[in-house]
Amino acid sequence: MNAVFVIDKPAGLTSHDVVNRARHILQQSSVGHLGTLDPMATGVLPLVAGNLTRLAQFYNSSRKSYEGTIRFGFATDTYDAEGDPAGPLQNVAFSVAQLEPIAHRFRGLIEQTPPAFSAKKVQGVPAYKLARKKREVKLEPVQVEIQEFEITSCEGDRAQFHARVASGTYMRSVAHDMGVQLGCGAHLESLRRTRVAEFGIADAYTLERFEAASGSGHLDEVRVHPRKLLPEMPSVTATDEIAAYVRSGRAVNLPDFSRAKQVKVFYGQSELIAVATRVAGTLFHPKIVFAAEKAVSAAR
């Protein structure tokens, strides 16, 4: 099966756990995801299956949206609620008005140091493996972009927020760094991802619903329609002749798309057969072909 599904990831599972579950449900090994979520986090986790795993390269820099809760009063070694306290508990309480000036500092392009408990590599070793062994982890700050970061409400030592960020941004680090600046410590208590690129929470299904749809033969009801993928890229519906050329990796002329850099090529309404890149003028060459081997052989 070549398809994209959006799972509403539950807390307690890693992204890889969800992928393994999907592989079992679909009974195929070719399944991946478009952006890791921490085990404690919930929400949007897009899965790509079959030949559409090759779409992942188009989502490496996808924008993401989150909502969650920051707890002030103590930091943790993992920067989230699953870690051990990294300092004494302080009794604090804040208002939105008090936190807004601090939140403002985290908007735009900022320098951010990733958490020690992260998948960032240190001399080829994931940082979290070193951190678990209580070894010193030294990660260099990186530039990240936070387009939106709003404190939406406060109650005692907890603040709810909404954020929209570029790929590579750690909301755990934002929570931790706010605690440092306030001098009271803080950590990310909960996190829910509400969007990745064009995939929103309204598109997401629970693993139970996904499994039920597979078992009843209704996976079409829970997959993302291929026409909704990569909405910023124009699409063309190929004739039989053009489809045959594209499936075999041959260049084709697409007169109506002379100004486009890349186009999605469909056969019929729902079969995405390729992404083609403009070579010159109206000539496009298939950059990625999603056709099955049988279809490619037939075209040849």
Q: Measuring CA to CA, which residue among 8, 2, 1 is closest to residue 210?
A: 8
Q: Which of 38, 77, 80, 157 is catalytic?
A: 38
Q: Is 38 a catalytic residue?
A: yes
b/e burial code for range 39-58 (CB count within 10 A of at least 16 → b): bbbbbbbbbbbbbbbbbeeb
Encode 240-294 in three state secondary structure.
HHHHHHHHCCCCEECHHHCCCCEEEEEECCCEEEEEEEEEECCEEEEEEECCCHH
Q: Return d(Cα 243, Cα 273) in angstroms, integer.
A: 8
Cα 79–Cα 151–Cα 191 angle in degrees, nearest 5 = 40
- Give, in order, the Cα–Cα distances in Å from 182 to each of 37, 55, 79, 103, 240: 27, 42, 15, 11, 64
**For residue 199, how far is the Cα from the chain centroid?**
9
- Give, in order, the Cα–Cα distances in Å from 82 to each of 5, 57, 300: 28, 31, 55
Helix (H) or strand (E) holding 295: helix 293-299
Long-range CB contacts for residues 255-264, cutoff 8 Å, separation at least 24: 255/282, 257/282, 257/284, 258/282, 260/233, 260/234, 262/233, 262/287, 263/233, 263/234, 263/235, 263/236, 264/229, 264/230, 264/233, 264/234, 264/235, 264/236
Q: Tell me which residues are annotated as active site.
A: 38
